[in-house]
Structure 1
Amino acid sequence: MIIGIPKETCPGECRVGLVPQNVSALVKKGRSVMIERGAGLAAGHSDDAYAAAGATLADRSAVFEQADIIVQVQTPGLNLKTGDSDLAELPSNKILVGMMDPLANPEFAQTLAAKQVTGVAMELIPRITRAQAMDVLSSNAMIVGYKAVLIGASELASMFPMNMTAAGTLNPARVFIMGVGVAGLQACATAKRLGAVVEAYDVRPAAREQILSVGAKPVELNIQAEDTESAGGYAKEQSAEFIKAQQAAMADVLAQQDVVITTAAVPGKKSPILVTAEMVKSMKPGAVIIDLAAEKGGNCELTQLGEVVIENGVKIIGPNNLASTVATHASQMYGKNIENLLNHLITEDGKLNLDFEDEIIRETVVSINGDVPHPRMRDLLGLPALPATDSSTDSSTDSSTTA
């Protein structure tokens, strides 16, 4: 069995599916790895480094033709700009592993099924203990939270730390983080290290201790809480009434801030509006908003993806694919997530075993044997539920291959 790594083609995507360290570890386990020439250059990894790690260098068509497992950062399900060419080049009976935006683009699972391609969506890795080392969303979020603070510090017309000088005292910047998942907590910690006064808010009551643990101050709003977390550990969409009450209570908090970083996203849904245009009017001239939910519509009503909007003196930044701007470490973490998943999929004796009794397999495989076995995906697509025995029996049997 050959694991293939094509170069990413989406404009602005600098990450790579595996780095040389991952290749070396997989080769030591008896796996074969083929990589497109130049695939790792944008992430700081040369062809020579991959060759030294044991990979075979090849052109793009050879990778797609000869590899059994194709690993991408952005599969055609996520890469809507240039992904069609990859989809046309992808032969049947392959296994495609990568980010697919499955909940927002469930039709891609049907497309793979029609091509007899087994699709493994990395965004669907369950939030369970034994899958933590495969969780690409957390890996990316940590990097995004860090980089957002650096953007805020760069764009703000004042310094983050307090300074007492002969020319007077410079007050510290006030930084406010809205949403403290992995990205938000990293943003809190990074802003604190830069010397800012950091506050944070999250709808989850359990987030209070997490905010305190990274040196930030929790902001508490006097509003009735709702159920905020899904069974898979991801954020749950809030009611319109709750969001309206949250916005009203948040206006006074925002008026005091120099930098606001928003991180609220719900998988498969448009991002909730946390900062309205009216709330922006109440903020200080010169304040900066970095909207990390811009790719899903934005948490600020005025956000434009990939643009900088200035409204009433407030700068609103909607970054696109922020993780790719830290491509070396983002690829290192993504590659380790992929390596761990591949080690989970491939047994010690080199057999590929897609056992649907395993929660990790059941939750991440979106297409196999010409069908879509994932219950949530079938629901989104309006397909009838499958009998419980179909996916577990057929899939594991048909997918055993020597690596």
Structure 2
Amino acid sequence: PSDAECALAKSGSVLVGMLNPFDAAGLQRVAAAGLTGFALEAAPRTTRAQSMDVLSSQANIAGYKAVMIAADKYQRFFPMLMTAAGTVKAARVVILGVGVAGLQAIATAKRLGAVIEASDVRPSVKEQIESLGGKFIDVPYETQEEKDAAEGVGGYARPMPASWLTRQQAEVAKRVALADVVISTALIPGRAAPTLITEDMVKSMKPGSVIVDIAAGKGPDGVGGNCPLSEADKTVVKHGVTIVGETNLAALVAADASALYARNVLDFLKLVLTKEGTLKIDLEDDIVAACRVTQDGQVTKK
């Protein structure tokens, strides 16, 4: 919430929502207003917390919408078509980053008949990619440090060593040059989005190709995203390639996004409300404790 919105809130109230636990200034505002804040993005990645995982519910929608936008911008068919007037080849789609958004993007592109390749730092996603009909872009690990970083923490990716990133970039560059559509979804909580599609890679793509950068606006210093040429909330054409930088894809599927988000909030409220409807904040509950970011005028999560 903005300064004006915080000023309207009653001290002692409880605020539940997507408060961005990495936004120190924003949390300080919430704390100064005397609000007890719960950031749903901070919920642990456990089975019990799944129903209130706002990142997953909204990223799922973003992955779907990214493919639909790409299909709209790409001026050819996605599926292979054999007609009396000739055969049209299937579109080649490359997905970079295979979290919730990436997996939904693979599934959606597959339904539309595209040929799909996908890349991620975590080797564990290979089976998931293949189960959805995609092909995993494999980059072997040469050191224990690379393997450990690839496993991630709590379901989130970790920054990879430079040695592996160099090899991955070379492998991905080959696939991107042949791709008709590239959808990048790579985000690391609390850090700038990693650069996956360099300007040279964009130059290597065929004219008329499409990039949908889900990380737009989250690059270093808030510029670019997974591609440094993407611009937040704009669709631009660079080197003959259309680059879509929508920053709130879930809002473009507003009815379903709102319904799923409302369910996330409701399931969290069940943990902090009694059957009589009174507030009971139980910090012994691991989900409640993890989501609490402000209380009693203090920021509790650093």
With normalisation by structure 2, the TM-score equals 0.93
Q: In the alignment, which of 60, 76, 93 is matched to residue 175 of structure 1?
A: 93
Deviations 1:10-54 (A, max 9, x none): xxxxxxxxxxxxxxxxxxxxxxxxxxxxxxxxxxxxxxxxxxxxx
> In structure 1, what is the equivalent of residue 169 of structure 2?
247
Q: Is the Cα contact below 8 Å between 1:275 and 1:301 reproduced in 2?
A: yes
Residue type of the alignment partner of 1:354: I
Residue type of the alignment partner of 1:93: G
> In structure 2, what is the equivalent of residue 360 of structure 1?
287
**Which has more radius of gyration?**
1
Q: Is the Cα contact below 8 Å between 1:175 and 1:257 reproduced in 2?
A: yes
- C-alpha deviation, 1:222, in angstroms: 4.1
> In structure 2, what is the equivalent of residue 369 of structure 1?
296
> Aligned equivalents of 1:232 and 1:90: distance in 2?
34
> Aligned equivalents of 2:244 and 2:196: distance in 1?
15
More deviation, 338-347/144-153: 338-347
User: SS at 1:328's partner residue?
Assistant: helix
Q: Is the Cα contact below 8 Å between 2:217 and 2:232 reproduced in 1?
A: yes
> Aligned equivalents of 2:206 and 2:123: distance in 1?
29
Q: In the alignment, which of 15, 36, 41 is matched to residue 96 of structure 1?
A: 15
Residue type of the alignment partner of 2:168: Q
Q: Is the Cα contact below 8 Å between 1:222 and 1:249 reproduced in 2?
A: no
More deviation, 270-279/312-321: 312-321
> Aligned equivalents of 1:276 and 1:231: distance in 2?
27
Q: Is the Cα contact below 8 Å between 2:215 and 2:247 reproduced in 1?
A: no
- C-alpha deviation, 1:213, in angstroms: 1.4
> Aligned equivalents of 1:96 and 1:316: distance in 2?
36
> In structure 1, what is the equivalent of residue 81 of structure 2?
163
Residue type of the alignment partner of 2:258: S
User: SS at 2:200's partner residue?
Assistant: helix
Q: 1:88 to 1:230 in 2, by over 3 A?
A: farther
Q: In the alignment, which of 277, 287, 291 is matched to residue 213 of structure 2?
A: 291
Larger RCO, structure (CA 8 Å, separation 6 or more)? 2
User: Please, which runs of 5 or more residues in structure 1 have no aligned partner?
Assistant: 1-75, 77-82, 378-403
Q: Is the Cα contact below 8 Å between 2:137 and 2:172 reproduced in 1?
A: no
> Aligned equivalents of 2:217 and 2:228: distance in 1?
13
Q: In the alignment, which of 243, 267, 286 is matched to residue 340 of structure 1?
A: 267
Q: Is the Cα contact below 8 Å between 2:7 and 2:33 reproduced in 1?
A: no
User: SS at 1:255's partner residue?
Assistant: helix
Q: 1:287 to 1:223 in 2, by over 3 A?
A: farther
> Aligned equivalents of 1:223 and 1:308: distance in 2?
36
Q: Is the Cα contact below 8 Å between 2:123 and 2:151 reproduced in 1?
A: no
With normalisation by structure 1, the TM-score equals 0.70
Q: Is the Cα contact below 8 Å between 2:122 and 2:157 reproduced in 1?
A: no
User: Please, which runs of 5 or more residues in structure 2 have no aligned partner?
Assistant: 220-224
User: SS at 1:294's partner residue?
Assistant: coil
- C-alpha deviation, 1:328, in angstroms: 0.3
> In structure 2, what is the equivalent of residue 210 of structure 1?
128
Q: 1:87 to 1:241 in 2, by over 3 A?
A: farther
User: SS at 1:133's partner residue?
Assistant: helix
Q: 1:136 to 1:229 in 2, by over 3 A?
A: farther
> Aligned equivalents of 1:323 and 1:258: distance in 2?
24
> In structure 1, what is the equivalent of residue 222 of structure 2?
none
> Aligned equivalents of 2:151 and 2:140: distance in 1?
20
Q: Is the Cα contact below 8 Å between 1:142 and 1:186 reproduced in 2?
A: yes
> Aligned equivalents of 1:195 and 1:233: distance in 2?
29
- C-alpha deviation, 1:241, in angstroms: 3.9
Q: Is the Cα contact below 8 Å between 2:122 and 2:152 reproduced in 1?
A: no
Q: Is the Cα contact below 8 Å between 2:52 and 2:265 reproduced in 1?
A: yes
> In structure 2, what is the equivalent of residue 322 of structure 1?
249
Aligned positions, number: 293
